[in-house]
């Protein structure tokens, strides 16, 4: 081998052994790191740092692992620093010694780019090191740098999070978290860690003003999880975790590599203290006879929990206190006069009160402890029925629901029996009680179009033993037919064979043959001339411009292709908020349509609905549109993956897509209004809201489907099951209960017996069921796409587990009767997606029957105005009169009939006022109002007559209840004395004669009698009794008289009490050579007094009005002259 070749090989070996320092000594030349893949390097001999670039695709946890050869010394060679996206702010920093083991550090970070810098610490070594950046995706981690309230990590309640206090040379790490309590309640902070060392963490919670409401300064490193509870009002709070190392920074080394976990669990409720309730001004109000819970906080000083309560009248209250030994005190309303003090644990305290009014209950004790208390006041108030379901005189009541009676207070279960709630007409049922309500559940379905009377027994008692007294009864009427949200027709009117060729529809059983559902109005759309178009089928009002953003606000769209109107889902929702803020077209209630609203614009008679919509008055219609409905994406129903339902107006389908639209290009179509159309769209079932990455959030202010919940909600008991059929009480459709009827009833119909058949075989099977009169019916059909999707609840993932049908196969699609060419709409029940299947494929079938009828009908079938103040007119309610027949409906008169017809009014009005005729398949609208002139249930009917007929073709029941808004309270001040009668709440303030005030029905009014300085209150008559405070619940008008008796300023008690207006009169009463005591009240006596008789008299002053105590003084404004006799004066001041 030549010498030159040897030198070349030596140079190549040396070159291979050298780390590539020069390439990564700056941020610009940083070495990209593949997550989870080790990278090897060494310190630069010129002491320059090495940089490594880390890119995180989503939020999660980064794990830095630093490994090196053991140098067997304690010198610090390396310094490892994690930097932010611009390479400036330190996220973590740790030194590495030569004799140290592998170092592993964690940090929670949001998606983005970061840098790892490895630099010289204090000693140089060329020993190679290995750096590995691991990554665990997820949202359950803190997001560094969350070192202040402004950068706090937003956390979701009832969700665990992991954090680490990072090791830094610069500012010590503080971890801040932000959370919101949606209502008043209690937050349970669970804080956990797993290292053995003393006092490492200090956790605190502050409110929006920066005031500390909770501080825990001694969370030890002993492996454990501690739970601390804090009562809070609804609002935003910040939680901080800071290092706490009283024995020096060495302990922080262990802390910096040890994660902690925290979980803020929330329980809503009003019976908890509300921090900061440490002052009179912030005291938590506690209702008497209710149990309240409190928690002693460590806020850097001892916690004081103050509760305000009201005593209605003098008496002895019991305080049932539970908790560890601590100070329990009662103060007056100002917090300055102590009335009761005791250091006690669990105890039943008896506290006397000499006057009514507000008081303070105070608890102070050991931080971390909890307590509960119940201030019990003698309860003599009778329970009252506060609400019934269904409401009194309501109509159109579903026949399978329960009756619920709610009372004004908690009910004693021992007072409730099977006869406590009864229903007439021999209806049997079960009675259950919970809290303040009693439920009656009929054992059989109620009859159609029947009026029932329900009765609550007067023997029902509250927890204090007070009985209802008289029986309480109310009436209601059941529906004549099921279905408040009937499904509409799909628009399809043609039919085709298996090869897609057009055929006559008659007898095929296809959608074009059945045309099941509520007919569409003709025309379908009405332009309003103001930039909007109303859909006469649904009553929805749409923006006329179907790509409004691109035309009106192109600069708002900065996504992908700027200005084209294709934006992310978050941007779509933000655009709706912009329109509302600007009152676009004068309206502030625009919304992103939910999936049902968006689907209502599909016309299955068209291969592409865009041109049809354009002919209906819309402009710039696109193919794909966002809905406001997120999709459930996991079987456990706990996580949405940020997928949103979209509608394809071209192919007539729906599907879910991530919030980033990618190549699909969905646009935004604003909508508002609803109601007054031929149908009511059903609600989607979505009740939760999400972020773009799928994290569940509070719905408030999002504009998502889960917040608005537009559409007709299903009844509490949606399905009625009878033998092998299931009736949907929301749509009125009747379904076969067996979801795989072919396999279980007719396995030979399907060659392989799994129940999956071709589309034509599915149609043939429905003909077979009808010829055999399955379940006694001959009108079974294959459902159209609107009927089949009406069963889907978008709020759940797997509808097969929620529906009452049995035998659902796993993850399967079902045929509909709607087709176009060789394609057929099929529906996936587990998630609700509508896709296109081919007629030659195989899928399952679910028979249906019923739905919209072929007669003249009304939507809704009845009107219930509920309760309406007498003397006022209700809001307008609209009836949609649909002609479902094949002939034109020639309208005559539309009038009100019935006993209370004069209290109702009907007139043509609404979006399509009724005129002379209604074409087949069309509809018109009338408007009805209710104006009660007195209280009580009122019933009438809207009668629709054909021309020349005196018999209505349709009679629509209407009902309402007139109510008195206010009840009159009269108070009379009577007697020889003077005083005042006042009320709480304010309104009545009477000092003489008769006074009146009005209070809303149901108001609890406390009356207080206050005598003047020369009188005593001697008692109530009328609706009040006794001589203490009076509590009245306003129902009917009430009246009472308060009697005040004048008390003379002086008296002598011998054989009886004798009263005098002046000392002279009392003095003259004393017999000659007698000896008497004159008692004088705390008054000012005016005039000179001359004692000129041979009697002994003692004047004892300062008595109260009742002459029971003489703790004050009596003043004499004048001269006291004693000429004869003897005088002893006590508590008498002469001025």
- Reported as a single tens digit per residue, the pLDDT across 505-557 is 888 999 988 888 888 887 889 899 999 999 988 889 999 999 999 999 999 99
> Mean pLDDT over residues 387-409, rounded?
79
Angle at 79 between CA 76 and CA 85, to 5 degrees: 175
Any idea which architecture 153-268 has in CATH? Sandwich (2.60)
- In terms of Cβ atoms closer than 10 Å to its own Cβ (0-12, 13-18, 19+), residue 600 is buried
pLDDT tens digits, 827-854: 988 777 888 889 999 999 999 987 765 4
- Secondary structure (3-state) at 680: coil
What pLDDT, on the 0 to 100 scale, is given for residue 4?
Answer: 38
CATH topology of domain 966-1046: Immunoglobulin-like (2.60.40)
Judge whether residue 1064 has pLDDT over 70: yes
Specify the higher pLDDT residue, 6 or 908.
908
pLDDT of residue 635: 45
Going by the DSSP 8-state scheme, the letter that residue 707 receives in this structure is H
CA distance 632 to 354: 61
Per-residue pLDDT at 472: 93
- The answer on pLDDT for 752 being more than 60 is yes
Evaluate if residue 250 carries a pLDDT over 60. no
DSSP state of 760: H
705 phi/psi in degrees, rounded to 5: -55, -40
Residue 251 binned pLDDT confidence (cut-offs 50, 70, 90) = very low
Least confident of 30-44, 251-265, 683-697, 946-960: 251-265
Checking if the pLDDT of 235 tops 80, the result is yes
How are beta strands 966-974 and 1038-1046 bridged, if at all?
parallel
Reply yes or no on whether the pLDDT at 654 is more than 80.
no
Q: What is the predicted pLDDT for the residue at 721?
A: 87
Residue 430's pLDDT is what?
92
Q: Is the pLDDT of residue 241 over 50?
A: yes
If one compares 768 and 1045, the residue with the highest pLDDT of the two is 768
Q: Do 171 and 272 meet the contact criterion of CB atoms below 8 Å apart? A: no
d(CA 58, CA 43): 31
pLDDT at 381: 75
Residue 739 scores a pLDDT above 50: yes
Cβ atoms of 44 and 58 closer than 8 Å: no
Task: Name every residue whose Cβ is closer than 8 Å to that of residue 1070 and which is 6 or more positions away in sequence.
Answer: 1052, 1076, 1093, 1095, 1097
**C-alpha distances out from residue 536 to 528, 600, 650, 917, 923, Å:** 12, 11, 22, 17, 9
Q: What is the pLDDT of residue 249?
A: 46
The pLDDT assigned to 662 comes to: 57
| Average pLDDT score over residue span 889-894 | 86
Q: What is the mean pLDDT of the chain?
A: 84
Q: How far apart are the first and last CA of the chain?
A: 136
Q: Is the pLDDT of residue 400 over 80?
A: no
- Quote the pLDDT of residue 91: 85
Q: CA of 1064: how far to CAs of 582, 1051, 1122, 1132, in Å?
A: 84, 12, 13, 15
Can you give the pLDDT at residue 154?
A: 93
Would you say the CATH fold of 730-850 matches that of 153-268? Answer: no
Bigger pLDDT: 341 vs 46 = 341
Question: Torsion angle of alpha carbons 703, 706, 708, 712, nearest 10°?
Answer: 150
* pLDDT above 90: residue 888: no
> What pLDDT is attached to residue 859?
73
Residues contacting 616, CB < 8 A, separation 6+:
523, 524, 525, 533
- Asked if residue 15 has pLDDT above 50, the reply is no
Closest CA to 82 of 111, 51, 117, 53: 117
> In the numeric block, which tokens belong to residue 469?
């007294």
Choice between 815 and 861, residue whose per-residue pLDDT is larger:
815
Domain 730-850, CATH 3.30.160 — does that match?
Answer: no
Task: Compute the 3-state secondary structure of the chain and give helix, strand, coil in percent, each to the nearest 5.
Answer: 10, 45, 45
Domain 856-959 sits in CATH at 2.60.40.10
The whole-number pLDDT of residue 633 equals: 59
Which of 308-312, 427-431, 502-506, 878-882 tops mean pLDDT? 427-431
What are the boundaries of each domain within the chain? 14-137, 153-268, 284-376, 385-478, 519-678+683-708, 730-850, 856-959, 966-1046, 1050-1134
According to the model, what pLDDT value does residue 555 have? 92
Q: Which CATH class is domain 284-376?
A: mainly beta
For the chain, give the percent of residues with pLDDT over 90.
32
CATH class for the region spanning 14-137: mainly beta
Tell me which of 937 and 256 has the higher pLDDT.
Answer: 937
Could you give the residue ranges of the DSSP H alpha helices within 404-532? 511-514
Q: Which CATH code is given to the segment(s) 385-478?
A: 2.60.40.1220
Q: pLDDT band at residue 5, thresholds of 50, 70 and 90?
A: very low
The pLDDT value given to residue 924: 87
Tens digit of each residue's pLDDT (9 = 90 or more) over 145-192: 888 899 999 999 988 999 888 877 656 788 999 999 988 888 988 887
pLDDT at residue 559, as a whole number? 81
Which region among 644-653, 690-699, 718-727, 1125-1134 has the lowest average model confidence (pLDDT)? 644-653
Q: Provide the pLDDT confidence category of residue 791 given band limits of 50, 70 and 90.
A: very high
Give pLDDT, residue 638: 47
pLDDT, one tens digit per residue, over 568-614 is 899 999 999 999 999 999 899 999 999 999 999 999 888 789 999 99
Q: Which regions of 379-531 does DSSP assign to beta strands (E)?
A: 385-389, 394-397, 403-407, 421-423, 429-434, 437-442, 451-456, 472-478, 495-496, 502-503, 525-527
Q: Given this model, what pLDDT does residue 59 score?
A: 92
Q: Which pTM does this prediction carry?
A: 0.43
User: If pLDDT is split at 50, 70 and 90, which confidence band does 54 have?
Assistant: very high
Residue 547 has which token pair?
């790509």
Integer CA distances (angstroms), 954 to 561, 679, 893, in order: 55, 18, 12
**pLDDT value of position 12:** 39
Give pLDDT, residue 198.
52
Q: Which of 780, 788, 918 is nearest to 858 (CA)?
A: 918
Q: How confident is the model at residue 786 (pLDDT cuts 50, 70, 90)?
A: very high
Q: Check pLDDT > 70 for residue 634.
A: no
Instruction: Give the pLDDT band of residue 800 (cuts 50, 70, 90).
Output: confident
CB–CB of 1001/1032 below 8 Å?
no
Q: Which residues are registered as beta bridge partners of 719?
A: 728
pLDDT value at residue 255: 54
pLDDT at 658: 59
Buried b (16+ CB within 10 A) or exposed e, 126-148: eeebebbbebeeebbbbbbbbbe
- Rounded to an integer, what distance in angstroms lies between the CA atom of residue 536 and that of residue 919? 14
């Amino acid at each position: 081998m030549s010498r030159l070749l040897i030198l070349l090989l030596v140079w190549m070996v040396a070159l291979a052994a050298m780390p590539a320092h020069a390439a990564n000594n700056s941020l610009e030349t940083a070495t990209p790191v593949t997550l989870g893949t080790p990278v090897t390097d060494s310190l630069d001999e010129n002491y320059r740092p090495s940089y490594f670039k880390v890119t995180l695709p989503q939020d999660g946890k980064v794990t830095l692992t630093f490994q090196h050869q053991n140098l067997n010394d304690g010198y610090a060679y390396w310094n490892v620093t994690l930097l932010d996206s611009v390479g400036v702010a330190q996220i973590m920093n740790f030194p590495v010694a030569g004799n140290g083991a592998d170092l592993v550090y964690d940090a929670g970070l949001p998606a983005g780019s970061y840098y790892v810098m490895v630099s010289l610490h204090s000693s140089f070594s060329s020993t190679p090191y290995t750096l590995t950046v691991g990554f665990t995706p997820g949202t359950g981690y803190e997001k560094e740098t969350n070192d202040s309230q402004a950068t706090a990590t937003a956390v979701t309640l009832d969700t665990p999070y992991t954090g680490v206090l990072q090791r830094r040379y610069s500012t010590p790490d503080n971890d801040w978290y932000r959370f919101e309590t949606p209502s008043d309640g209690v937050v349970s902070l669970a804080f956990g860690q797993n290292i053995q060392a003393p006092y490492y963490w200090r956790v605190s919670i502050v409110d929006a003003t920066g005031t500390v409401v909770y501080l825990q300064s001694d969370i030890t490193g002993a492996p454990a999880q501690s739970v601390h509870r804090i009562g809070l009002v609804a609002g935003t709070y910040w939680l901080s975790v800071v290092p706490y190392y009283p024995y020096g920074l060495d302990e922080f080394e262990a802390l910096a590599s040890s994660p902690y976990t925290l979980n803020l669990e929330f329980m809503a409720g009003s019976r908890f203290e509300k921090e900061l309730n440490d002052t009179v001004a912030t005291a938590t109000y506690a209702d008497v006879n209710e149990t309240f819970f409190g928690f002693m906080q460590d806020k850097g000083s001892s916690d004081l929990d103050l509760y305000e309560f009201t005593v209605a009248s003098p008496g002895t209250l019991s305080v049932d206190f539970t908790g560890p030994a601590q100070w329990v005190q009662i103060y007056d309303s100002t917090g300055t006069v102590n009335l009761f003090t005791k250091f006690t644990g669990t105890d039943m305290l008896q506290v006397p009160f000499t006057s009514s009014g507000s008081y303070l209950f105070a608890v102070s004790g050991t931080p971390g402890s909890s307590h509960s208390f119940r201030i019990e006041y003698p309860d003599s108030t009778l329970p009252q029925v506060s609400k019934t379901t269904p409401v009194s005189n309501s109509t159109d009541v579903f026949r399978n629901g329960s009756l619920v009676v709610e009372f004004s207070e908690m009910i004693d279960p021992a007072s409730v029996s099977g006869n406590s709630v009864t229903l007439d007409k021999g209806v049997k049922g079960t009675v259950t009680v919970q809290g303040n309500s009693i439920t009656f559940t009929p054992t059989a379905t109620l009859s159609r179009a029947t009026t029932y009377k329900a009765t609550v027994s007067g023997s029902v008692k509250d927890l204090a033993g007070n009985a209802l007294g008289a029986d309480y009864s109310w009436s209601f009427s059941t529906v004549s037919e099921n279905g408040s949200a009937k499904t509409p027709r799909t628009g399809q009117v043609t039919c085709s064979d298996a090869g897609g060729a057009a055929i006559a529809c008659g007898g095929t059983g296809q959608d074009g043959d059945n045309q099941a559902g509520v007919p569409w109005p003709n025309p379908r759309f009405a332009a309003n001339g103001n930039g909007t178009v109303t859909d006469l089928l649904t009553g929805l009002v749409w923006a006329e411009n179907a790509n409004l953003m691109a035309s009106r606000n192109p600069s708002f769209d900065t996504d992908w292709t700027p200005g084209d109107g294709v934006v992310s889902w978050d941007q779509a929702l933000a655009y709706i908020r912009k329109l509302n803020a600007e009152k676009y077209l004068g309206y502030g209630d625009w919304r992103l349509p939910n999936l049902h609203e968006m689907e209502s614009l599909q016309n299955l008679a068209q291969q592409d609905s865009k041109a049809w919509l354009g002919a209906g008055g819309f402009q710039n219609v696109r193919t794909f549109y966002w809905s406001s409905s997120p999709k459930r994406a996991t079987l456990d129903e706990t996580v949405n993956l940020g997928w949103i339902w979209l509608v394809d107006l071209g192919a007539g389908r729906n599907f879910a897509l991530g919030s980033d639209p990618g190549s699909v290009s969905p646009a935004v179509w604003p909508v508002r209004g609803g109601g007054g159309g031929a149908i009511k769209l059903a609600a989607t079932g979505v009740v939760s809201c999400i972020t773009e990455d799928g994290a569940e959030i509070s719905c408030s202010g999002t504009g998502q489907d889960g917040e608005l919940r537009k559409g007709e909600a299903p009844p509490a008991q949606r399905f009625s099951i009878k033998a092998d059929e299931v009736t949907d009480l929301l749509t009125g459709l009747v379904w076969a209960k067996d979801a795989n009827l072919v396999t279980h009833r007719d396995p030979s119909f399907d060659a392989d017996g799994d129940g999956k058949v071709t589309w034509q075989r599915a149609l043939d099977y429905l003909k077979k069921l009808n010829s055999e009169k399955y379940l006694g019916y001959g009108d079974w059909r294959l459902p159209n796409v609107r009927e089949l999707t009406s069963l889907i609840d978008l709020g759940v993932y797997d509808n097969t587990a929620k529906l009452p049908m049995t035998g659902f196969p796993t993850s399967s699609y079902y045929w509909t009767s709607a087709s176009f060419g060789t394609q057929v709409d099929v529906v996936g029940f587990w998630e609700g997606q509508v896709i296109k299947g081919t007629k030659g494929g195989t899928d399952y079938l679910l028979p249906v029957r019923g739905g919209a009828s072929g007669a003249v009908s009304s939507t809704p079938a009845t009107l219930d105005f509920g309760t309406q103040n007498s003397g006022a007119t209700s809001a307008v309610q609209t009836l949609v009169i649909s002609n479902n027949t094949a002939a034109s409906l020639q309208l005559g008169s539309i009038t009100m009939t019935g006993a209370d017809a004069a209290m109702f009014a009907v007139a043509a009005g609404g979006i399509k006022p009724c005129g002379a005729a209604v074409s087949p398949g069309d509809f018109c609208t009338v408007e009805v109002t209710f104006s009660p002139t007195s209280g009580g249930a009122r019933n009438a009917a809207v009668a629709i007559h054909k021309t020349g007929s005196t018999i209505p073709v349709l009679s629509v029941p209407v009902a309402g209840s007139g109510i008195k808004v206010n009840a009159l309270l009269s108070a009379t001040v009577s007697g020889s004395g003077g005083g005042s009668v006042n009320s709480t709440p304010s309104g009545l303030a009477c000092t003489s004669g008769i006074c009146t005030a009005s209070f809303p029905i149901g108001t609890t009014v406390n009356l207080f009698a206050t005598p003047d300085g020369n009188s005593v209150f001697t008692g109530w008559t009328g609706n009040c009794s006794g001589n203490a405070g009076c509590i009245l619940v306003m129902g009917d008008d009430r009246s009472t008289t308060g009697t005040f008796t004048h008390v003379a300023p002086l008296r002598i008690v011998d054989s009886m009490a004798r009263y005098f207006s002046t000392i002279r009169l009392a003095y003259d009463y004393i017999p000659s050579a007698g000896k008497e005591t004159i008692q004088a009240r705390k008054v000012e006596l005016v005039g000179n007094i001359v004692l000129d008789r041979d009697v002994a008299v003692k004047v004892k002053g300062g008595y109260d009005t009742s002459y029971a105590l003489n703790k004050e003084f009596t003043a004499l404004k004048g001269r006291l002259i004693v000429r004869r006799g003897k005088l002893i004066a006590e508590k008498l001041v002469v001025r």
